[in-house]
Amino acid sequence: MRNYLKQIGTILWKDLLVEFRTRERLITMGAFVVLVAILFNYATDWVRVSPEDIASGLVWMTIMFAGLLGVGRTFHLEAEDGAFQGILLSPVPKDAIFLAKALANFVFLYIVALLVVAVFMFFFGLEVSRNFGMLAIVIGLGVLAFVALGTLFTAVSTGTRMGDTLLPVLIFPLLAPVVIYGTGATSQFLAGRPLTEAEGSIKMLAAIALMAFFLGSLLFRFVVED
Amino acid sequence: MSVPVYREADEKAPPVLQAQGLVREYGSVIAVDEIDLSLARGEFLTIFGPNGAGKTSLLALLAGALRPSRGQVWLRGEPLDFGEVEWRRRIGVLSHQGFLYGHLSAEENLRFYGQLFGLSDVDNVVRDKLQHLGLQERATSLVRDLSHGMRQRLALARTLLHDPDIVLLDEPYTGLDPSAALVLQGVLSDLRDGRRTVVMVTHNLSEGVALATSVAIMNRGRFVWQGKRAELEGDFGQFYHTVIEGHG
């Protein structure tokens, strides 16, 4: 078990180090998030619509699209010089590889998701300080579910001729429950409602995240083995 | 520094690497067609053949990178089990690609693979390997800044890092200048220490034959000639072309 966790840690650390040096994904996702928030700000008629009514939906859709940009490139750097094949030929269980890649994606996307909240607070004047802790947990659970599904289906789409084009088609139908429960809980917190009213949505998000990681770990080897 | 000792393969030892009826199909194309082989400890098999003969696919099958469509590979009498990973510790693979990360340094790349293979003394092993391959002065250079020859040497260091007893080499001489080829030749000669079983695919006829204990010529997915190096007489280049033309 210790060796298993060490192997996950090794791949996770390598992914973080490579991203820290290239900043390829974080910069792309960060720039996307800021630009989307600016566009939404100008595209919304604030006389007719109040920010609280639409903010949770916009926050979650921005996280989903930014996530697609980042998660879609999970295996691009690995493809350079066939490095992913090198990992597959090492004595690391395929589920450990999946967990490491998904956790690395979680770190990147969670940073971006918090940036999304900050940017929307700035442009939409949202007040989240009272429930920020719970909001961070809800977003964390949604991001966990997203990266588990995203990592698995990116591995599927990377091996096809359609590549990145195929990824949204595969993943969006499966993300519907994440968006539904994520926006549900976020709306409650943005409206200043108590935790008990969002409890059901949080439990559902946790269950989806758990199931996505379990299925991803189980199915990843069938996707990457030739 | 110890002088490598070249020992002939132990013919009576049980086979280390075996394949029987190995077939790999890609749709309607048969890349590897009913290949049988049996290699003992210390044996060095060099496989020659024209482009598209199926050499790389065969090596990928032996490495466990590809599943065979039919047939079976055994390591020390045990069939390859794709659900297990422990047997991967015994194989080192040098492919067309180096499996290296351009944004990590030479040292970081080796340490990464050393940790994946669970080496106990990674730092010392990495230092030794870099020194052995003459890369110690470029240890902290990013791989993307290294020349092709240096990358190839680093890839070889990665292949041998975990001291595998089965080494699979795919076109190790590709793109190397004469001095880099000479360094590689020295390292490959060291592999003939009687401990390892080596399979090498190459277009380099003279170097390939010089290193081999056994030679196979492959065409259209099959071994069209297979024998001991000692059986080869005269000009191997001419012999090779005669065999290929005879099975064209």
pLDDT digits (tens, 9 = 90+) for B114-144: 999 999 999 999 999 999 888 899 999 999 9
Residue-number span of the structural domain to which A101 is assigned:
2-224
Q: Write down the pLDDT at residue B41.
A: 92
Phi, psi (deg, nearest 5) at residue B198: -125, 135
Q: What is the tally of structural domains in chain A?
A: 1
Residues in chain A closer than 8 A to B101 (CB atoms): 14, 18, 77, 80-81, 83
Closest C-alpha among B154, B163, B159 to residue B108: B154
> Which DSSP symbol is given to B193?
S
Band the pLDDT of B2: cuts 50, 70, 90.
very low
Of B91, B113, B115, which has the smallest distance from its Cβ to A6's Cβ? B115
Mean pLDDT of all residues belonging to chain B = 89
| Assigned domain for B158 exists | yes
Which residue of B100, B103, B174 is the best one to mutate when testing the A interface, meaning the one whose CB has the most A CBs within 10 A? B103
Q: Write down the pLDDT at residue B7.
A: 42
Band the pLDDT of B234: cuts 50, 70, 90.
confident
Band the pLDDT of B149: cuts 50, 70, 90.
confident
Q: What is the pLDDT of residues B62-73, one digit of tens each?
A: 999 999 999 999
| Assigned domain for B172 exists | yes
Q: What is the tally of structural domains in chain B?
A: 1
Task: Put the strands of the sheet holding B17-26 in their side by side order.
Answer: B29-39, B17-26, B70-75, B78-79
Phi, psi (deg, nearest 5) at residue B17: -130, 125
User: Which residue of chain B is at minimal alpha-carbon distance from A22?
Assistant: B103
Residue-number span of the structural domain to which B206 is assigned:
17-246
| Assigned domain for B1 exists | no
- In angstroms, the CA A50 to CA A225 distance is 50
| Assigned domain for B3 exists | no
Given a cut of 50, whether residue B3 has pLDDT beyond it is no
**A89 in contact with B, Cβ within 8 Å:** yes
Q: What are B66's two structure tokens?
A: 């590809």
Q: Write down the pLDDT at residue B248.
A: 62
Of B64, B101, B115, which has the smallest distance from its Cβ to A83's Cβ? B101
- Record the pTM: 0.90
Q: What is the CATH number of the domain that holds B194?
A: 3.40.50.300
Q: Write down the pLDDT at residue B10.
A: 53
Q: Write down the pLDDT at residue A190.
A: 85
> Does B34 or B6 have the greater pLDDT score?
B34
| Assigned domain for B146 exists | yes
Residues in chain B closer than 8 A to A225 (CB atoms): 67, 82
Q: What is the pLDDT of residues A140-169, one digit of tens each?
A: 999 999 999 999 999 988 877 777 788 888
Q: Write down the pLDDT at residue A201.
A: 94
Q: Using the beta-carbon criterion (under 8 Å), do A17 and B108 form an inter-chain contact?
A: yes
Q: Using the beta-carbon criterion (under 8 Å), do B66 and A81 form an inter-chain contact?
A: no
pLDDT along chain A (226 residues), means of 10: 91 94 92 93 85 88 93 82 92 96 96 93 83 91 96 87 81 94 92 86 96 95 86
Which residue of B96, B99, B156 is the best one to mutate when testing the A interface, meaning the one whose CB has the most A CBs within 10 A? B99
| Assigned domain for B9 exists | no
Which residue of B111, B116, B148, B170 is the best one to mutate when testing the A interface, meaning the one whose CB has the most A CBs within 10 A? B116
Share of chain B above pLDDT 90, in %: 60
Residues in chain A closer than 8 A to B140 (CB atoms): none
User: Which residue of chain B is at minimal alpha-carbon distance from A221?
Assistant: B83
Band the pLDDT of B12: cuts 50, 70, 90.
low
* B240 Cα to chain A: minimum distance (Å): 31
Q: Write down the pLDDT at residue B1.
A: 35
Q: What is the pLDDT of residues A11-21, one digit of tens each?
A: 999 999 999 99
Longest distance between any two alpha carbons in chain A, whole Å: 60
Q: Write down the pLDDT at residue A24.
A: 87
List strand residue ranges (DSSP E) for chain B, in order: 17-26, 29-39, 44-48, 70-75, 78-79, 91-94, 166-170, 197-201, 214-219, 222-228
* A1 Cα to chain B: minimum distance (Å): 13
Q: What are A19's two structure tokens?
A: 């991203």
Band the pLDDT of B11: cuts 50, 70, 90.
low
**A91 in contact with B, Cβ within 8 Å:** yes
Backbone torsion region of residue A172, taken as left when φ is above 0, otherwise alpha when ψ lies between -120 and 50, otherwise beta: alpha
Given a cut of 50, whether residue B6 has pLDDT beyond it is no
**A16 in contact with B, Cβ within 8 Å:** no
Q: For residue A106, what are the CA distances in angstroms to A37, A88, A136, B131, B140?
A: 22, 21, 13, 38, 29
